[in-house]
Amino acid sequence: MIRKAIFPRCYLQGKDILNNLGGIGELETKKLFVLGTNTAVKQIIPVNLSSWQQICRIEYETFSGKCTWDEINRVRKIAASHNCDFIMGLGGGKAIDTARVVAWQLGVKYIAAPTIAATDAPTASACVVYNDAGAIVDYFTTANPDYVLVDTRIIARAPVRFLVSGMGDALATWFEAETCDRSHFKNICGGLNLRAVMAMAHLCYQTLLEYGRAAKISCEHKVVSPALEHIVEANTLLSGLGFESGGLSCAHGIHDCLCNLEGTHDYYHGEKVAFGTMAGLFLETRPQALIEEVYAFCRSVGLPTTLKKIGLEKVTDSQLKAAVQLVFDNKESYLHNIRVDLTPEGIIDAIRMADAFGGKEKN
């Protein structure tokens, strides 16, 4: 099998860079169609519009809030009627995914401009499409963005829980890439891992340990500090390249199990992935010192370390069994990227162990 990694063409990050669209030269005199979330259309576009109009021609539309096929078709018709050269997704993961699919369908260049650092979706080629009820109906790959444009002042002004959740998603990156690499499992782009990606995945973990707490405080005070910039890079670029070209495994597999339990529905992706990472530490027999390090990090930034903190205080073994079995029965699940002797009971034991270990600490 070949080794493979995929990347966005250009990654730009900095304070106030959205105001001049990152200085992207090829935008000049072209037409840019922006799909923005409600907040972006009300708060971000008005203060930047006149500056953007000096660079290129602008059209924009408000995102409905859901990445469904109906919404993708609606946005595609509008974008096509404008005959645009570039499409920019401005908002969270769902707005970015919708714009990504539309740009891919229309064959125009794509700019991902995340306004939060809650997940590692912006750099990726992978897209998730939902139905109106919020269940996943399609998962497929398009193309990595031509540009990823991350304005750290906008990220600093977003609610801190998004940044912390992004750290939870990024926390899984090294562990999952290492598991896939060690066992020669395919990564998300369909190859074996390159050393370059393993180095980025490890740097992702180190960056969280070194700068996570300071970045959280920075975001609480809406300050763009170097620590915040390092964590935005870890959450967005390092984690994004790390998951797509390094592979997913236990943390996201257990996240998928937890998502089958209603109590977790108010919790963010990265919060549940962080708990899945902790369960994975026990499932994969990681050494005590490493387990202590991960828990200490999670407590320091406020990521959940017990089932209670992800809405599952009273979850029974039979509820857990049903939730795990659903994912376990899917042979395509990342859960199977762990070990050949994996059983649902073993996964439940690891979830219970992660909860018990978290409960032993002073949180």
Q: Are 87 and 106 in contact (CB under 8 A)?
A: yes
Compare residues 87 and 233 and give the one whose CB is closer to Zn ion: 233
The catalytic residue among 169, 181, 256, 355 is 169
Measured from the CB of residue 63, what is the shortest distance to Zn ion in angstroms? 21
Compare residues 169 and 181 and give the one whose CB is closer to Zn ion: 169
The catalytic residue among 120, 146, 151, 252 is 252
The whole-angstrom separation of Cα 59 and Cα 91 is: 16
Window contacting Zn ion (CB under 5 A); options: 54-62, 87-95, 164-172, 320-328: 164-172
Is 169 assigned a catalytic role?
yes
Measured from the CB of residue 330, what is the shortest distance to Zn ion in angstroms? 17
One-letter-per-residue 3-state SS of 85-132:
CEEEEEECHHHHHHHHHHHHHHCCEEEEEECCCCCCCCCCCEEEEECC
Range 262-265 contact pairs with CB under 8 angstroms and sequence separation of 24 or more: 263/310, 263/311, 263/312, 263/313, 263/315, 264/310, 264/311, 264/312, 265/311
Measured from the CB of residue 171, what is the shortest distance to Zn ion in angstroms? 10
The whole-angstrom separation of Cα 188 and Cα 319 is: 30
Compare residues 169 and 233 and give the one whose CB is closer to Zn ion: 169
Measured from the CB of residue 172, what is the shortest distance to Zn ion in angstroms? 7
Is 82 assigned a catalytic role?
no
Window contacting Zn ion (CB under 5 A); options: 148-156, 167-175, 205-213, 304-312: 167-175
Compare residues 97 and 169 and give the one whose CB is closer to Zn ion: 169
The catalytic residue among 146, 151, 255, 256 is 255
256 lies in the site for Zn ion, by CB under 5 A:
no
Range 39-48 contact pairs with CB under 8 angstroms and sequence separation of 24 or more: 39/91, 39/115, 40/90, 40/91, 40/95, 40/115, 44/18, 44/90, 44/115, 44/154, 45/90, 48/18, 48/19
Residues 179-238 that bind Zn ion (CB under 5 A): none
Indicate the residue whose CB is closest to Zn ion.
169
Compare residues 213 and 252 and give the one whose CB is closer to Zn ion: 252
The whole-angstrom separation of Cα 289 and Cα 284 is: 14
Measured from the CB of residue 177, what is the shortest distance to Zn ion in angstroms? 12
Window contacting Zn ion (CB under 5 A); options: 87-95, 136-144, 165-173, 335-343: 165-173
Structural tokens at position 130: 């939902």
Measured from the CB of residue 162, what is the shortest distance to Zn ion in angstroms? 14
Window contacting Zn ion (CB under 5 A); options: 4-12, 169-177, 287-295, 329-337: 169-177
Q: Rule CB under 5 A: choose which of 71, 97, 151, 169 binds Zn ion.
A: 169
DSSP 3-state of 59: strand
Report in angstroms the alpha-carbon separations of 131 from 65, 97, 128, 135, 205: 12, 14, 10, 6, 34
Compare residues 48 and 173 and give the one whose CB is closer to Zn ion: 173
Helix 317-328 with 344-360: angle, nearest 10 deg? 130
Window contacting Zn ion (CB under 5 A); options: 79-87, 108-116, 142-150, 161-169: 161-169
Measured from the CB of residue 289, what is the shortest distance to Zn ion in angstroms? 26
Size of the site for Zn ion (CB under 5 A): 1
Residue 107: burial class (beta carbons within 10 Å; 0-12, 13-18, 19+): exposed
Cα of 260 vs its chain's centroid, Å = 19
- Known catalytic residues are 169, 252, 255, 269
Site residues, Zn ion (CB under 5 A): 169
